[in-house]
Structure 1
């Protein structure tokens, strides 16, 4: 592959709803440009983008793939992103190095939730974008309705460039609404011809939308538009270049990726309208010292780890050594690659703005900055969505714990929205993900890639126990077995401390030396050991106040161990009689949904025993704040997306413990008995 100057590079993300045709479009671009000699299909598992066995099996993209396309002395780095919301981390990675985006829509579906999310992501990142409507040969396509919906959803910046041209039901070309000529498809090529009859109304509508968008970018053009003076083609094209770059104009193109109709026109417009990396919002420094940003990590059990990077400053060449800003270590780039899906092509140099990969560096992770040791650079890290779906994971094979742990660590290196933690209290490894589909892929990868079979279960909820009453009891431990015996005797009072964040408070009010002072620590030690396991279901005890009031001792048989045992006896009897109860963890939950889903969310919260704390309307989004038992929300992020067709998001964190309803307590106690 050739080495390209910065001005001849375009970095674009393909965004859109799951199944809208992004991967097929990437494949069509690559094939049309001569980058491969066989046109792959998603259904056959032969595309360059979807090369992972999981993607081939599921027929969806689960990771961002890099597809460099060489077209008319330019290099278009196409980042094909997943459309399913569980894999949003991969979308964030792609957007962090993209200078523009093509938002793909199916003509038969129009604007979908994923289209809206893609637009919002571009707005957040201030990325120039185009809308590309594919599958224009689907039956009963209503192009005008799609455009009107886009305009309603996304505003006046939407500027259609084409009117689709049909011969009966067959999509045969388009009318260029700027240059006012028709173009007919011949294979994947286009031939210019006169505008066909019968398209006057559609052409007027589309051209009006272009002129409105163009007029918004310049006061002089606005005056000409309202004065109904002609705006020339050169003025329109100049305004398009400026307007697209700053986000004031979003061109709409259409085609049919399966037979590659319109793909040449799309690639021409990507080069013509989108900025090169030195012109982009986050412009690369062509003349600066070498600096790269690692935006993605790929781990393969056989070939090892690849770090994908964008050259943000200067250029990087084979055998360069760069400083890792995070670790302070120097990393040597023995080989530099350009990836095309899973294919690797070694190159000598990559210039500012280009995207490449390097293998087997010592300690490099996603979000790392590597630069010349004198460069003083550090690039802004990607902010990944926090995962809120939790499951406990267990190996099925005997002795596979370590193998599972090592494999999970490799998968965490690849996906920063996935992580694991070991819960010392429940002795469970808990995995966290964006959604259940993502965790299902993790399980499948563990089995297929790393040969570790696992199962997922609902995590054990960390309940607590406490008491509501006050009780005074005697605990006596007396044992005679020849020689020295054992003797410890305590009178203790147990009551609520009022502080559920503290396991216990210990006090002594012994008068007259009934229990010698040297045994006080032993009594507290016995108490400390007891509170790890409550009397109802064996959960840790909190909010307990224990007071040593009285007791007795034997000058020969008493010992620290005997007083610990006496305390244990007192604890078990006293806590049982002091109205023990089970506490459940309560989460503070914040849910953001479009206003129309408020009623559905409120009803669902009620089923989960949630309590509404407050509501606030921000724009068209409703922020709902509630408190919900933690046991009810381990998979809530997935359920919320189901309720809102993917439009809702949730954040939650542990708030406090409070007493569980009696029916919940009964279930918890019964479940622990069965487990035991």
Structure 2
């Protein structure tokens, strides 16, 4: 057992004593015999098992804690739902709308830009209490350009509410959010919002959840009326009607099931039991035996299946009309897990990154993950999820990546952009710290263990802009870019080596526009942006051999290196994490071992900047088979240059192609404009994937090259009299047409000629 592993279990006083050489050797020496090692292992296991039990107070706190996120496609009503949750739990005294006439705006959309545009840009955290249960809530953006905000929120949450529009249903970003929930194993409740809207059809939305999201779903409620006549819901399990009364729906009134809806409710209950029978063993046995499960048995099965991510219960309401939100809160507490019911893991750095299970109790060594950074008026604000142990004001924490010791001077709980000071937070809680120098995804411990939590998935950027400050002496230009990069891993900045221009890259036009606007407002830096640049890629399409000799003699020792092998294409989609590969098959020492890393570096140099349009190369494997070295003239530089030039020649002979990002575009518009929408997408070389008609609206899904999507919002407004809207997200990189490839190469060569 390592000293680091022993220390958290034996207490801080003994841990301090163990740091002295004499006592440390006394503890370490017995490991020299297998018998004593086995005895210590057994003692360790029994001690760990004893400490793993939480105190009764901590167990009660954890059982009454929920960490949830509100996620959905843009404009499905996430922020409106969150605003009602805060009102009904007593966190706010008044309700304000996202695009309200009072110019106040929703509580969670605290940025001026969010209130002006009526969209959520940054995820915002808050906490509330409902029925004795503490809720940590994160409201996330719906726009795909800010997908990293959803990604990092779901990384640290235990459950989620997936909000769907009663008319639009499952949309493109809904599918993206579903994929993110699956990536981090997050159970979810589905809430069909906007039941008061014309064309509301909850049964169709439930079918979409089952078929488009591929997860069993069934309704726990049946709506009483729809569209303008939507009055409330019927609780299928309790078999009673539920109405919201009062000025803001704060009064819950229960009633009998309307006589004309008894059959509908019975059918919904049977459908719920049949769906649960497929995913839960207990209900399945009762179903086979043709026994009717009790209400408690069904509720327990819904909870088991939801936490196991085999099922999603569906509720419905209208947040804007103050209906159905309290029942959603009840469902969150009844069916979503507490922190002890979710398995989280960490990597033991001292033991070959062995996977360890996190013990979510406050009497364990502290482990926390910094999942979001934000620049506040008091400096950098770091959001932390405490996975294990307790974090107290005044204690020291250790930054695992750098090994730095940090004193926790101030500890706060966040409520949108306001905060409340606290003295300590336990396992499972979300809090924020000030003055911590770290990056998003870094792990902190109390120093007694050396473990790291896994980081989050960060997608590649798809669009770039050149950025030049109007005032070349603007002191805040670099400061703003550095801050934004630390806050947002999808926002990237680099300086073009040839033009010396600052290039910013992100997830879409809106993403970059927001940051340019924030630079103007928050740092008083006005910038001029260049034409958007698409993130093209280059790849090989066929196998190509190389045999290249690098020879240079300039007096004295020269340069000599010979490399032989081939390059071949690989599927970059299947190798998404590492879309290139270097294989060393050299035998017999023809290339000395010390020069092989230099060969790989030469290959990596060739990948950075392609030979057709200067964009990175992906989907290529380089296999080194043979070579030759000179006793005097060979060096690392010689083999690095030899491999670079060999790769260049082989790549040019491999039928190279340019790849462009293809976007999944979803356009919704009134049915009378369907022809105009299809025509506009065809004009932009879009491939129509699906067309769906919903009442008087149509939804067209297509795949369109990103390079052809610039300015589409203006064209769509013109073609649909301002009634159409669209969303798009990155799908994949695909080869461009040969004619387009020739044009891109000519443009690139013309730019190079201008620079000369």
Q: Given the two structures, how large is their TM-score scaled by the length of structure 1?
A: 0.72
Once the two structures are superposed, the pairs formed by residues 267-416 of structure 1 within 5 Å of their partners are: 267-282=329-344, 285-286=360-361, 287-300=363-376, 302-361=377-436, 363-400=437-474, 402-416=475-489
1:178 CA displacement: 1.3
* Distance in 1, Cα, partners of 2:663 & 2:180: 16
* Higher mean C-alpha displacement, 345-354 vs 195-204: 195-204
Q: Distance in 2 between matches of 1:6 and 1:428?
A: 52
Distance 1:83 1:356 in 2: 23
Work out the CA distance in 2 between the residues paired with 1:269 and 1:36: 21
Q: Which residue of 1 aligns with 2:75?
A: 19
> How far apart are the structure 2 equivalents of 1:588 and 1:167?
48
CA contact (8 A) 2:463 2:534 kept: no
The answer to whether the Cα contact below 8 Å between 1:55 and 1:61 also exists between their aligned partners in 2 is: yes
Partner of 1:93: 152
Distance 1:672 1:336 in 2: 57
Q: Does the alignment pair 1:646 with 2:728?
A: yes
Task: Give the 3-state SS of the residue equivalent to 1:49 in structure 2.
Answer: coil
Deviations 1:42-86 (Å, cap 9, x if unpaired)?
113422211012111211001110021111221111110000000
Q: Which runs of 5+ in 2 are unaligned?
A: 1-56, 345-357, 537-543, 560-612, 615-654, 666-677, 687-702, 717-724
Q: Superposed, which structure 2 residues align to 1:232-631 within 5 Å?
A: 232-282=294-344, 285-286=360-361, 287-300=363-376, 302-361=377-436, 363-400=437-474, 402-458=475-531, 587-588=658-659
Is the 8 Å Cα contact of residues 426 and 460 (structure 1) preserved in structure 2?
no
The one of 248, 272, 279 aligned to 1:210: 272
Query: Could you tell me how far apart the structure 1 residues matched to 2:277 and 2:751 are?
Result: 71
User: d(CA) in 2 for partners of 1:133 and 1:270?
Assistant: 14
What is the alpha-carbon distance in structure 1 between the residues aligned to residue 242 and residue 534 of structure 2? 64
Shift of 1:322: 0.5
Q: Measure how far apart 1:462 and its partner are.
A: 13
Report the Cα distance in structure 1 between the residues aligned to 2:175 and 2:743, rounded to whole angstroms.
Answer: 45
Q: Would you say the 8 A contact 2:200–2:227 is kept in 1?
A: no
> Does the CA contact (< 8 Å) of 1:105 and 1:131 recur in 2?
yes
How far apart in 1 are the matches of 2:747 and 2:481? 36
Cα separation, 2, equivalents of 1:190 and 1:162: 15
Deviations 1:231-287 (A, max 9, x none): 111110111111111012211111121242211111111111111111113265203
Residue by residue, what CA displacement relative to the aligned partner does 1:551-595 show, whole Å, maximum 9, x if unpaired?
Answer: xxxxxxxxxxxxxxxxxxxxxxxxxxxxxxxxx99644576969x
Contact 1:277 1:284 in 2 (8 A): no
The answer as to 2:203 corresponding to 1:144 is yes
TM-score (norm 2): 0.64
Equivalent residue for 2:132?
A: 73
Which residue number corresponds to residue 125 of structure 1?
184
The whole-number CA distance in structure 2 between the counterparts of 1:95 and 1:462 is: 27
CA distance in 2: counterparts of 1:197 and 1:399, whole angstroms? 75
**1:556 match:** none
Classify 1:72/1:220 alpha carbon distance in 2 versus 1 (closer, same or farther; 3 Å): closer
**Alignment partner, residue 60 of structure 1:** 119
Q: Is the 8 A contact 1:45 1:51 kept in 2?
A: no
- Partner-residue secondary structure (3-state), 2:455: coil
Q: 1:35 is matched with which residue: 69, 77, 91?
A: 91
Give the secondary structure class of the aligned counterpart of 1:430: strand
Shift in CA distance, 393/505, structure 1 to aligned 2, threshold 3 Å? farther
Question: What is residue 184 of structure 1 aligned with on the other side?
Answer: 243
**2:150 and 2:177 in contact (8 A); partners too:** no
Q: Are 1:175 and 1:181, in contact at CA under 8 Å, matched by a contact in 2?
A: yes
Comparing 307-316 and 138-147, the one that deviates more: 138-147
More deviation, 376-385/196-205: 196-205
> Quick check: 1:156–1:212 contact (8 Å CA) kept in 2?
no
Cα offset, 1:101, TM superposition: 0.8
Cα distance per residue 1:453-507 (max 9 Å; x no partner): 11211379999xxxxxxxxxxxxxxxxxxxxxxxxxxxxxxxxxx99999x9887
| Aligned equivalent of 1:199 | 261
Distance 1:144 1:517, change over 3 A: closer
Relative to structure 1, is the Cα distance of residues 500 and 416 closer, same or farther in structure 2, using a 3 angstrom cutoff?
Answer: farther
Task: Check whether the contact 2:209–2:215 (CA below 8 A) recurs between aligned residues.
Answer: no
Task: Supply the distance in 1 between the matched residues of 2:161 and 2:743 (Cα, whole angstroms).
Answer: 55
Aligned equivalents of 1:81 and 1:249: distance in 2?
23
2:458 aligned counterpart, secondary structure = coil
SS in 1 for 2:179: helix
Contact 1:213 1:248 in 2 (8 A): no
Distance of aligned partners of 1:217 and 1:168 in 2 relative to their CA distance in 1, 3 Å threshold: closer
- The answer to whether the 8 Å contact 1:637/1:649 transfers is no
**How many angstroms apart in 2 are the aligned matches of 1:592 and 1:454?**
28
**Matched position secondary structure for 2:431:** strand
Structure whose CA Rg is larger: 1
Alignment of 1:166-181 (within 5 A): 166=225, 169-181=228-240
Does 2:292 correspond to 1:230?
Answer: yes
Comparing 278-287 with 342-351, greater Cα deviation is found at 278-287
1:366: Cα distance to partner? 1.0
- How big is the shift at 1:409? 0.5
1:495 equivalent in structure 2 = none
Cα 1:664–1:333 shift into 2, 3 Å? closer
* Cα contact 1:462–1:585 (8 A) shared by 2: no
More helix by share: 2
Uncovered stretches (5+) of structure 1, i.e. residues with no partner: 464-497, 509-515, 522-538, 541-583, 608-623, 625-631
Q: 1:319 touches 1:334 (CA, 8 Å); kept in 2?
A: yes
**Cα RMSD (Å):** 4.3
Instruction: Describe the SS at the equivalent of 2:276.
Output: helix
Contact 1:293 / 1:309 at 8 angstroms: preserved in 2? yes
**Measured at CA, do residues 416 and 245 of structure 1 come closer, stay the same or move farther in structure 2, by a change above 3 Å?**
same
Offset at residue 163 of structure 1 (A)? 0.4
Per-residue CA deviation, residues 526-566 of structure 1 (Å, 9 max, x unaligned), is: xxxxxxxxxxxxx99xxxxxxxxxxxxxxxxxxxxxxxxxx
Give the corresponding residue for 1:621.
Answer: none
Partner of 1:470: none
Q: Secondary structure at the match of 2:384?
A: strand
Question: Residues of 2 paired with 1:461 and 1:16: CA distance?
Answer: 27
Residue pair 1:164, 1:171 contacting (<8 A) in 2 also? yes
SS in 2 for 1:413: helix
Aligned twin of 1:615: none
- Asked whether the 8 Å contact 2:280–2:305 carries over to 1, the reply is no
SS in 2 for 1:424: coil
Count of matched residue positions in the alignment of Structure 1 and Structure 2: 543
